[in-house]
Amino acid sequence: MCHLLTMADLTNADINEILLEAQMFKDGSTWSSPKKMYAANLFFEPSTRTKCSFEMAERKLGLEVIPFETSTSSLQKGETLYDTVKTLESIGVNLAVIRHNQDHYYKELVPKINIPIINGGDGCGQHPTQSLLDLFTIKQEFGGFSGLNITIIGDISHSRVARSNMEALTKLGANVVFSGPPEWFDHTFSLGNYVPINQAIEQADVVMLLRIQHERHQGQSTYTAKQYHEQYGLTVERESRMKNGSIIMHPAPINRNVEIADELVESKKSRIFKQMANGVYIRMAVIKRALENSVRGCLHELHY
Amino acid sequence: MCHLLTMADLTNADINEILLEAQMFKDGSTWSSPKKMYAANLFFEPSTRTKCSFEMAERKLGLEVIPFETSTSSLQKGETLYDTVKTLESIGVNLAVIRHNQDHYYKELVPKINIPIINGGDGCGQHPTQSLLDLFTIKQEFGGFSGLNITIIGDISHSRVARSNMEALTKLGANVVFSGPPEWFDHTFSLGNYVPINQAIEQADVVMLLRIQHERHQGQSTYTAKQYHEQYGLTVERESRMKNGSIIMHPAPINRNVEIADELVESKKSRIFKQMANGVYIRMAVIKRALENSVRGCLHELHY
Amino acid sequence: MCHLLTMADLTNADINEILLEAQMFKDGSTWSSPKKMYAANLFFEPSTRTKCSFEMAERKLGLEVIPFETSTSSLQKGETLYDTVKTLESIGVNLAVIRHNQDHYYKELVPKINIPIINGGDGCGQHPTQSLLDLFTIKQEFGGFSGLNITIIGDISHSRVARSNMEALTKLGANVVFSGPPEWFDHTFSLGNYVPINQAIEQADVVMLLRIQHERHQGQSTYTAKQYHEQYGLTVERESRMKNGSIIMHPAPINRNVEIADELVESKKSRIFKQMANGVYIRMAVIKRALENSVRGCLHELHY
């Protein structure tokens, strides 16, 4: 398949193949396309990690990156997302990475765009390369997923990470539970169970913290930073009760002393910055796969 | 000549040479400068197509592109356009592409700037590479220009495309007529005639639609989108009365269902996305020519 | 040393080595790192010259530049500067150039960031590569610094250039005096003396003008442009009384007809655009040095 839009696009075999490829890139393997290729990164929401990580991955694969800033594009003159992406395709861009605040923004693109689209995050939907880098980080630590206890804590309902990861980890044999403010728990998630915070942390092999997405709460939050930290954050005290060999993850950006105590961000159990390093290798693997699969175009794959 | 500022800078022989060169690039020909060269794209108005197209052309020619964002430049501290361009020349930039909202912005630059300036659009003035890519698209279709009927429809007075194309096409032997709201017709255009919309469409080999430039009307428009579409837009009904072998063009961005019915944008007669693809080859030809002509500097050419 | 944060980091021997290296780059010498390396330029204040100059230097050294725009980064979601830089380090960036409006922003970074940080300007603190390019320009003109009379004129208290240059030039044997509005004179500068404007200009080998930093005065200025020019600007009349062989410098952006008469900007004595050209070679030398010194990481150097 050309595109990578949601984790549901990937079978367990696909996932394992991508993780294997990422490991090879991490170990120094290289790849470049037989001809010069061009990528564009369309980020309609702020990003440091994901955007720079894709840029790095593209350059490590030898792609040229055509700069695109939403604030100075013709979107300012009312151009649609479809016309924008079709324009980039027309001028010779071979791959588009898109982050957009609208859920499933890609549905209108896929039927008529003939270059791979990599979803860099859609609204409160999915963020598949974040999921894959989380899986990669877990696999490096534990060798696999079967039987692992994963606790996802925080702003579940606004998180594209929670949704993507829950689906993928469950499919791969892990036990996923959620914790955090009950009013932020998404009851439409059929899998996963809600567990009180202290129990969730004590039983976890992986404590996966989510960022509080202030920008999606629109002032409705009833917690101060201090209250949240005490009730649902990874405090120093809670961390001391984590299992031996367990790890801490966070997709970042971090609200220090809210989701996690400042002094734990780079502590021994933390894999937070390692996740970022892993992201580059995952994106290299995902882009390589997309470009290889797009040789005959992407339109013959329609199934959305 | 180093610079490309208006279509009037080019003789018919120049134009034909550029179209020929563009065709060679389209057919796979390559070129790169004998030494590493650097371009900068200064866009003081929003753009997707033109900016990305120049970026693509520059990279296909092996140039390095030095990023320049007007919003984070020293223009914010009151620096003049001249000092900004002179700065880029001083640090080693070899070519500047500029779009600016002021008509003839280049007049203060040309006497003292020693690197080629490619006009990417000046106010309501000209947009020569858009004209050239339009000519290229027409030539691909009809083999030449002599005797062709070209209808330019829409926001004539605010359009740099109308002005550039009228001049060039007339010089090359085509018959250019205008249509659209009479109050948007520019009576300073000495060439070309105004023709009612239905007649203009029926007689045309090329129906060239212009974008309504909302950003230049400043709220004075007296048409709703629906009214405009019915009175002056390319409706499905009007398209059905176009001649056999005739084509539809639009410089984009498109206001769908205003200048053109949504379902016609990618219809059989439309060359809209082909124009975008052609733009890259035209810009490659224009840049190659500018760099070759600038070997001895650009200041010996003063005639403005 | 990995980082370049202030001129005080450099001994006279260091400075001379950098100037020598810059001269070699100016004379056509090239260098590239043994492996592919990546730079990021984080500019939290507007810049044309410094940002484009670093970009040019990086590309001339064969580095890939990962674009970073503060306005679309996760700083918008509240991420700290430290977490932002640590993220870039994690994804594989090898060098960070930073301009920030906070004095000594780098103090929180240096203890934990393991890649070289080049200070592109901190608040009203320092701007070491500007100082070095000023020194380079002076050395090209006079062969050395010993006994030269340097007059720095203008907005002394808000200028990172004044501070950096005063320290470096004095250390190298030049006599530095200041002039300009007495209320903008920084009495915390232990070296240098205040001299009335006409005398300061007449005795100078180098007249170094500073930009009036409107953005840091916050509406407290008591001079109109005309008043400032007459009282403290380099007027045509004052220029006529400069010594034979003396030169005019300005870090730019220039307020024309305020700090300097319009017609003097590119006059025979002016080295203003030459300074910009020199900036690229200085930054190449500084970056080469930083990358070479960072081979074993930057954390073993802690002394802040």
- Other beta carbons less than 10 A from residue C49's beta carbon: 24
Closest by Cα among C210, C221, C159, C208 to C188: C159
Q: What is the pLDDT of residue A192?
A: 60
Least confident of A16-30, B289-303, C44-58, C250-264: B289-303
Does any CB of chain C come closer than 8 Å to the CB of residue B35? no
Q: Do A51 and C38 touch (CB under 8 A)?
A: no
Check if the beta carbon of residue A239 is closer than 8 Å to that of residue A279: no
Q: Smallest Cβ distance to B253: which of A72, A74, A112?
A: A74
**Residues pairing with A100 in the sheet:** A122
Q: Which residues contact A187 (CB under 8 A, 6 or more apart)?
A: none
- Other beta carbons less than 10 A from residue C269's beta carbon: 17
Residue A227, annotated ligand binder? no
Average pLDDT for C46-63: 95
Chain B residues touching C49 at Cβ < 8 A: 74, 87, 91
Q: What is the DSSP letter of A243?
A: P
Tokens, residue B79: 């620096």
Q: Distance, in angstroms, between C15 CA and closest chain A CA? A: 33
Q: Look at B203 and C184; give whichever has higher pLDDT.
A: B203
Tokens, residue A230: 């005490």
pLDDT for B88-122, tens place per residue? 999 999 999 999 999 999 999 999 999 999 999 99
pLDDT above 50: residue C304:
no
Check if the beta carbon of residue C102 is closer than 8 Å to that of residue C294: no
Q: Do A91 and B49 touch (CB under 8 A)?
A: yes
Please give the residue of chain A at the shortest CA–CA distance from B49.
A87
Chosen for mutation from A51, A52, A212, A270 (greatest number of chain C CBs closer than 10 Å) is: A52
Question: Strand, helix or coil at A220?
Answer: coil
Does any CB of chain C come closer than 8 Å to the CB of residue A48? yes
Note if the bond before B34 is cis, omega within 30 degrees: no
Rounded to 5 degrees, φ, ψ at A40 are -135, 140
Check if the beta carbon of residue A282 is closer than 8 Å to that of residue A97: no
Chain A residues touching B46 at Cβ < 8 A: 72-77
Rounded to 5 degrees, φ, ψ at C274 are -65, -40
Q: Distance, in angstroms, between C108 CA and closest chain A CA? A: 14
Q: Distance, in angstroms, between C46 CA and closest chain B CA? A: 5
Q: What is the pLDDT of residue B50?
A: 95
* Chains with 3 or more CB pairs under 8 A to chain A: B, C
Q: Which DSSP helix (H) or strand (E) runs through C12? A: helix C12-26
Average pLDDT for C185-213: 85
pLDDT above 50: residue A304:
no
Q: What is the ipTM of this complex?
A: 0.94
Residue A49, annotated ligand binder? yes
pLDDT for B202-220, tens place per residue? 999 999 999 987 665 655 5
d(CA C208, CA C135): 11
Residue B283, annotated ligand binder? no
HSE toward the beta carbon, residue B85, CA cutoff 13 A: 27
Q: What is the pLDDT of residue A187?
A: 67
Please give the residue of chain A at the shortest CA–CA distance from C86.
A273
The string over C13-22, giving b where at least 16 C-beta atoms fall within 10 Å of a residue's C-beta and e elsewhere, is eebeebbebb
Chain A residues touching B255 at Cβ < 8 A: 78
Closest by Cα among C81, C87, C76 to C109: C81
Q: Do B71 and C71 touch (CB under 8 A)?
A: yes
Residue B70, annotated ligand binder? no
Chain-centre distance for alpha carbon B230: 27
Average pLDDT for C34-54: 94
Q: Do B59 and A38 touch (CB under 8 A)?
A: yes
pLDDT above 80: residue A221:
no
| B117-122 sheet: strands from edge to edge | B64-65, B38-43, B95-100, B117-122
Q: At what angle do helices A272-293 and C81-91 cross, to 10 degrees?
A: 50
Q: Tokens 């932020």 identify what position?
A: A184
pLDDT for B234-289, tens place per residue? 999 999 999 999 999 999 999 999 999 999 999 999 999 999 999 999 999 999 99
Confidence band for B155, pLDDT divided at 50, 70 and 90: confident
d(CA A195, CA C203): 79
Sign of CA dihedral B125, B130, B136, B138: negative
The full 3-state SS of chain B, as one line of letters, equals CCCECCHHHCCHHHHHHHHHHHHHHHCCCCCCCCCCCEEEEEECCCCCHHHHHHHHHHHHCCCEECCCCHHHCHHHHCCCHHHHHHHHHHHCCCEEEEEECCCCHHHHCCCCCCCCEEEEEECCCCCHHHHHHHHHHHHHHHCCCCCCEEEEECCHHHCHHHHHHHHHHHHCCCEEEEECCHHHCCCCCCCCEECCHHHHHHCCCEEEECCCCHHHHCCCCCCCHHHHHHHHCECHHHHCCCCCCCEEECCCCCCECCCECHHHCCCCCECHHHHHHHHHHHHHHHHHHHHHHCCCCCHHHCCC
Chain A residues touching B72 at Cβ < 8 A: none
Q: Tell which B residues from 81 to 100 touch A, by Cβ distance under 8 Å.
A: none
Tokens, residue A106: 């890609």
pLDDT above 50: residue B8:
yes
Chain A residues touching C74 at Cβ < 8 A: 46-49, 252-253
- Other beta carbons less than 10 A from residue B102's beta carbon: 14
Rounded to 5 degrees, φ, ψ at B60 are -65, -25
Confidence band for B158, pLDDT divided at 50, 70 and 90: confident
d(CA B238, CA C138): 71
Chain-centre distance for alpha carbon C124: 12
pLDDT for C127-164, tens place per residue? 999 999 999 999 999 999 999 999 999 988 888 888 88
Q: Distance, in angstroms, between B72 CA and closest chain C CA? A: 5
Closest by Cα among A265, A67, A133, B42 to C72: A67
Does any CB of chain C come closer than 8 Å to the CB of residue A273? yes
Does any CB of chain B come closer than 8 Å to the CB of residue A75? yes
Check if the beta carbon of residue A66 is closer than 8 Å to that of residue B55: yes
pLDDT above 50: residue B10:
yes
In Å, the largest CA–CA distance within chain A is 56
Residue at B123: amino acid letter: G
| C95-100 sheet: strands from edge to edge | C64-65, C38-43, C95-100, C117-122
d(CA C164, CA C127): 7
Distances from the Cα of C281 to the Cαs of A50, A255, C119, C167, C278, in angstroms?
33, 40, 16, 22, 5
Check if the beta carbon of residue B110 is closer than 8 Å to that of residue B56: no
Q: Distance, in angstroms, between A23 CA and closest chain B CA? A: 31
Chain A residues touching B69 at Cβ < 8 A: 69, 72
Residue A50, annotated ligand binder? yes
d(CA C257, CA B78): 13
- Other beta carbons less than 10 A from residue C287's beta carbon: 27
Q: Do A87 and B48 touch (CB under 8 A)?
A: yes
Residue B216, annotated ligand binder? no
Residue C253, annotated ligand binder? yes
pLDDT for A120-146, tens place per residue? 999 888 999 999 999 999 999 999 999
HSE toward the beta carbon, residue C24, CA cutoff 13 A: 13
Q: What is the pLDDT of residue B253?
A: 93
Q: Distance, in angstroms, between B281 CA and closest chain C CA? A: 25
Chain B residues touching C75 at Cβ < 8 A: none
Q: Which DSSP helix (H) or strand (E) runs through C136? A: helix C128-142
Does any CB of chain A come closer than 8 Å to the CB of residue B256? yes
Check if the beta carbon of residue C236 is closer than 8 Å to that of residue C177: no
Q: Distance, in angstroms, between C189 CA and closest chain B CA? A: 27
Does any CB of chain C come closer than 8 Å to the CB of residue B219? no
d(CA C255, CA A80): 41
Least confident of A70-74, B47-51, B145-149, C235-239: A70-74
Chain A residues touching B67 at Cβ < 8 A: 67
Does any CB of chain C come closer than 8 Å to the CB of residue B59? no
Q: Look at A42 and B1; give whichever has higher pLDDT.
A: A42
A&C contacts, CB < 8 Å: 81
Q: What is the DSSP letter of A226?
A: H
Tokens, residue A33: 């396309």
Q: Do C91 and A51 touch (CB under 8 A)?
A: no
d(CA C88, CA C115): 10
**B73: left (phi > 0), else alpha (psi -120 to 50), else beta?**
beta
Q: Tokens 């048409």 identify what position?
A: B223
Q: What is the DSSP letter of C204?
A: -
Q: Do A90 and B255 touch (CB under 8 A)?
A: no
Q: Do B214 and A71 touch (CB under 8 A)?
A: no
Residue A253, annotated ligand binder? yes
Domains of chain A in sequence order:
7-127+279-301 (3.40.50.1370), 129-276 (3.40.50.1370)
Chosen for mutation from A44, A79, A81 (greatest number of chain B CBs closer than 10 Å) is: A79
Chosen for mutation from C42, C55, C72, C113 (greatest number of chain A CBs closer than 10 Å) is: C72
Residue B3, annotated ligand binder? no
Does any CB of chain C come closer than 8 Å to the CB of residue B109? no
Q: Do A67 and C67 touch (CB under 8 A)?
A: yes
Chain B residues touching C256 at Cβ < 8 A: 80, 83
Q: Do B274 and A90 touch (CB under 8 A)?
A: yes
Q: Look at B300 and A280; give whichever has higher pLDDT.
A: A280
Q: What is the pLDDT of residue B304?
A: 44
To 5 degrees, how large is the angle CA A29–CA A32–CA A33?
145
Please give the residue of chain C at the shortest CA–CA distance from B71.
C46
Please give the residue of chain B at the shortest CA–CA distance from C58.
B66
